[in-house]
């Protein structure tokens, strides 16, 4: 778990491919710990740990209502590596989450500045004195819709 | 009912009960709600408030469904059965909804924000947390730590979510907004294990349920994927299919309503 992560450059759509909406889709988000706000920045330069929503590279936030830790015995919240195809029980509650952040206007602004690829930086922020290192995700994908 | 089932406002309109905006409750409706919550708090068995709050989180098992394809149906079922429990205390009472997209300057609705109401303790302000529901022994009552009111979701944000035509995409985006309000409220509401002990939880989730209802009205051709329709919503004895039409559950979110008697059946 980390409190910030910057991806490799994400290829942006060509300027001759107009779109009505653009989404950043985060897959594989962990939600087993504390609740948090994830602030997302694109094409960041100098996004420090205290970067807030007024930073020029800020494109939006998504939120995770966290499970708050495990309240059972050892192994209670472990997700089985493999699932029996005949298992009719509901999926484990801590299966990773997906979040969709609409970034239509920020993406247009990046394209107008001639940016062709942009790193995505995510910082996580919990309430009060809870540690901020609650962030993990598997993939972030940019999708545009005409 | 088809997978694209939508609410049927024409079905048995006289029998429906209406969930109303918290800010538009009459003094009598608010008094009924407070009476119902107070009465439920006084019951220590499976009809009581503590039992219903505990179904969502602690004590184990944590039954709520989050970040999951059954998020909206499960919570619709949860509110339905809790509302039924309240109606056993005060007939006709319904859960109000907290429209957090308007009147941001107020933040927490006044009905829930004051420690006292009508010279008595306000049961909507906070709630005890049963010992088996606490994460730590000191967590005896619910708390809140709301953020700046201006950071609550805007009407434009909700409108963008409602514009989605695919149920699963809509649900994912609505849950993100939902999570944001939980985090904004802070304290107990920011913690799944105890969130439902806060009386404000029910008004927040009635708003989420209302937005699903509005989405259903707006996109009558869309619906819950067919493969989900017969999924059970444990521990409630109903399936996803049973939750699709709120008129079958006996309520709706009419902004205004009136009814008159017809000539009868002769």
Reported ipTM? 0.76
Domain map (residue ranges) of chain A: 4-69+94-145
| A4-69+94-145: CATH class | mainly beta
**What are the pLDDT digits (tens) for B158-211?**
999 999 999 999 999 999 999 999 999 999 999 999 999 999 999 999 999 999
Portion of chain B with pLDDT greater than 70, in percent: 91
**Measured distance CA(B8)–CA(B138) in Å, rounded:** 47
**Number of domains into which chain B is organized:** 1
Residue B2 lies in a domain: no
Nearest to A4 by CA among A44, A34, A49: A49
Residue B117: give its domain's CATH number.
Answer: 1.10.1280.10
Strand partners, A63: A37
Strand partners, B17: B251
Q: At B112, is the pLDDT very low, low, confident or very high (cuts 50, 70, 90)? A: very high
Out of A62, A68, A128, closest to residue B192 by CB: A68
Residue B161 lies in a domain: yes
Domain that holds residue B170: 17-252
DSSP symbols for chain B: --TT----TTSSTTT-EE--BGGG--HHHHHHHHHHHHHHHT--STTSHHHHHHHHSSSSS-----SSTTHHHHHHHHHHHHHHHHHHHSTT----B--TTS-GGG-S-HHHH-SEETTEE-TTT--B--GGG-SSTT--B-------GGGSPPHHHHHHHHT--SHHHHHHHHHHHHHHHHHHH-GGGG-TTTGGGSTHHHHHHHHHHHHHHHHHHH-TT--S-GGGTT-EETTEEEEHHHHS-GGGGTEE--SS----------
The residue among B60, B65, B67 with the most chain A CBs within 10 A of its CB, best to mutate, is B67
For all residues of chain B together, what is the average pLDDT? Answer: 91
Q: What is the pTM of this model?
A: 0.86
**Measured distance CA(B193)–CA(B209) in Å, rounded:** 20
- The upper half-sphere exposure of residue B30, i.e. CA atoms within 13 Å in the direction of its Cβ, equals 16
For each successive 10 residues of chain A (146 residues), what is the average pLDDT?
93 92 95 95 77 89 94 91 83 92 95 95 90 94 94
H helix or E strand, kind and range, residue A109: helix A104-112
Copy the structure tokens of residue B135. Answer: 């994460």
Strand partners, A40: A60, A122
Tell me whether B173 touches chain A (CB under 8 Å): yes
Residue B65 lies in a domain: yes
Tell me whether B183 touches chain A (CB under 8 Å): yes
**Residue found by looking up tokens 């708090």 in the block:** B41
Residue B55 lies in a domain: yes
Strand partners, A118: A10
Chain A 63-122, CB below 8 Å of chain B: which residues? 63-69, 71-72, 76, 90-91, 93, 95-102
Q: In Å, how far is B157's CA from the nearest CA of chain A?
A: 10
Q: Is the pLDDT of residue B1 over 50?
A: no
């Amino acid at each position: 778990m980390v409190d910030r992560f910057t991806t490799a450059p994400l290829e942006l759509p060509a300027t001759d491919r107009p779109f009505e909406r653009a989404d950043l889709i985060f897959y594989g988000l962990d939600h087993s710990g504390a609740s948090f706000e994830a602030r997302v920045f694109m094409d960041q330069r100098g996004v420090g740990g205290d970067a807030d929503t007024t930073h020029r590279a800020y494109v939006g936030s998504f939120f995770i209502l966290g499970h708050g830790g495990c309240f059972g015995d050892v192994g209670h919240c472990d997700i089985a590596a493999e699932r029996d195809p005949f298992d009719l029980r509901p999926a484990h509650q801590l299966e990773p989450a997906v979040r969709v952040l609409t970034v239509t206007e920020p993406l247009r602004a990046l394209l107008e500045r001639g940016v062709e690829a942009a790193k995505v930086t995510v910082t996580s922020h919990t309430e009060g004195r809870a540690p901020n290192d609650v962030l993990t995700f598997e993939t972030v994908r940019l999708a545009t819709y005409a | 009912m088809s997978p694209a089932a939508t609410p049927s406002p024409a079905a048995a309109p006289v029998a429906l009960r209406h969930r109303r905006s918290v800010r538009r409750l009459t003094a009598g409706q608010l008094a009924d709600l407070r009476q119902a919550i107070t009465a439920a708090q006084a019951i220590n068995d499976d009809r009581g408030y503590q039992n219903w709050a505990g179904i969502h989180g602690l004590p184990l098992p944590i039954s709520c469904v989050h970040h999951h394809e059954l998020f909206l149906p499960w919570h619709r079922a949860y509110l339905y059965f809790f509302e039924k429990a309240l109606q056993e205390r005060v007939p006709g009472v319904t859960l109000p909804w907290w429209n957090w997209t308007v009147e941001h300057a107020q933040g927490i609705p006044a009905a829930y924000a004051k420690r006292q109401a009508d010279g008595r303790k306000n049961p909507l302000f906070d709630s005890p947390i049963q010992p088996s529901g606490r994460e730590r022994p000191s967590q005896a009552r619910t708390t809140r730590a709301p953020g700046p009111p201006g950071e609550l979701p805007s009407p434009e944000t909700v409108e963008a979510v409602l514009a989605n035509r695919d149920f699963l995409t809509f649900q994912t985006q609505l849950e993100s907004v939902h999570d944001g309000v939980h985090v904004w409220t802070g304290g107990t509401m920011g913690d799944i294990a105890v969130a439902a002990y806060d009386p404000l939880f029910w008004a927040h989730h009635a708003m989420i349920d209302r937005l699903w209802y509005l989405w259903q009205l707006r996109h009558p051709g869309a619906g819950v994927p067919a493969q989900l329709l017969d999924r059970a919503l444990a521990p409630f004895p109903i399936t996803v299919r049973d939750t699709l039409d709120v008129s079958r559950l006996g309520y709706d979110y009419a902004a205004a309503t009136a009814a008159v008697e017809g000539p009868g059946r002769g």
